[in-house]
Amino acid sequence: MSDAARPLLSVNNIEVIYDHVILVLKGVSLQVPEGGIVALLGANGAGKSTTLKAISGLLRTERGEVTKGSIELLGAPIHRGGPAEVVRHGIVQVMEGRHVFEHLTVEENLLTGAYTQRNGRSLKRDLDLVYGYFPRLAERRSSQAGYISGGEQQMVAIGRALMARPKLMLLDEPSMGLAPMLVAEIYEIVARLNRDHKVAVLLAEQNATMALRAAQYAYVMENGRRRQALQAPQAVAVVISKEGAEGLCAGRRAKAWALRAPASPAQPDGGRFGRGAGPPSEVS
């Protein structure tokens, strides 16, 4: 594949197991193009957060492991690296739940995101960039992060990720627990970051309507079960059009296009969505 056709991120038929026993993801594949916004949709517990943690390397902190398949950044495998190494490659995750260092100020929180940067001048420039996108944070820069609003904490989390100068930002449920106006504001800022600085975004969301306003295309995580040696949720990724996603998430019958995954010994027929690679097949 040529560089022009090569995606920024490729997740290829991965399987994730926790504690060496619990199968959580099976046969998940997705791609994120350079400078694109991709939505990962699904109900709570479908495996969206686990997929993001597998990409960012945070899975290991929860005794999880990618046991099959591969995760590649510009064609180079990254799924064996730790979180710090993944960040140095240019992938940063914004965790679900607005994780901030509550005892640190807003500005100190932002500076923790720049630990890979060594140039003081560029650090000042990056801070100014974050404050340009989040002027509310500039006003609260000296406030302790534990005492600002939930929306402002989400802005801190995204701004901290931006300080690392990411090629790809992984956003996990950025709308959770926020008022609709704040959600719209945050999504608008994410779209501007993507448009102005070509930061690619992989977005895990239950709020399909809002996610699809920003994303070029989407994958749906479906929480299924497969009768094997152990019975565990099987997450299946399918790529769908925006119209199809809105219908699917509204509970209506919708067309979806399945990503074909290579056949495995456990799936001699190629699994639920067919055998081998090639053009996607239509399923209903």
The string of pLDDT tens digits covering residues 147-193 is 999 999 999 999 999 999 999 999 999 998 888 899 999 999 999 99
Mean pLDDT, residues 244-269: 39
Domain-located, residue 237: yes
What integer best gives the mean pLDDT of the chain? 78
CA gap 160, 123 in Å, rounded: 12
CA gap 257, 279 in Å, rounded: 9
Residue 136, pLDDT score: 94
Range of weakest confidence among 97-101, 189-193, 195-199? 97-101
CA gap 86, 135 in Å, rounded: 29
Find where tokens 């993507």 sit. 194
Q: Alpha helices, DSSP H only, in 94-241?
A: 106-112, 120-133, 135-139, 150-162, 180-197, 208-214
Domain membership of residue 276 as a residue range: 9-90+167-180+187-283
Report which secondary-structure segment, H or E, holds 32: strand 22-32
Range of weakest confidence among 116-125, 134-143, 192-201, 225-234? 225-234
Q: Is the pLDDT of residue 225 over 60?
A: no
Q: Are 174 and 154 in contact (CB under 8 A)?
A: yes
Segment 79-85 long-range contacts (CB within 8 Å, at least 24 positions apart): 79/14, 79/54, 79/55, 81/57, 82/57, 83/56, 83/57, 83/58, 84/57, 85/57
**Same domain for 238 and 144?**
no
Domain-located, residue 4: no
Q: Are 160 and 118 in contact (CB under 8 A)?
A: no
Q: Are 89 and 165 in contact (CB under 8 A)?
A: no
Amino acid at 82: G
**Same domain for 132 and 110?**
yes
**Same domain for 253 and 113?**
no
**Same domain for 83 and 207?**
yes
* 166 closest CA partner among 113, 204, 122, 213: 113
Q: pTM of this prediction?
A: 0.77
Mean pLDDT, residues 138-144: 95
Report which secondary-structure segment, H or E, holds 244: helix 242-249
The string of pLDDT tens digits covering residues 49-79 is 999 999 999 998 889 999 999 999 998 999 8
Q: What are phi and psi of 167, to 5 degrees?
A: -80, -35
- In sequence order, what are the beta bridge partners of 204? 40, 172
**Same domain for 238 and 266?**
yes
**Same domain for 171 and 51?**
yes
Number of separate domains in the chain: 2
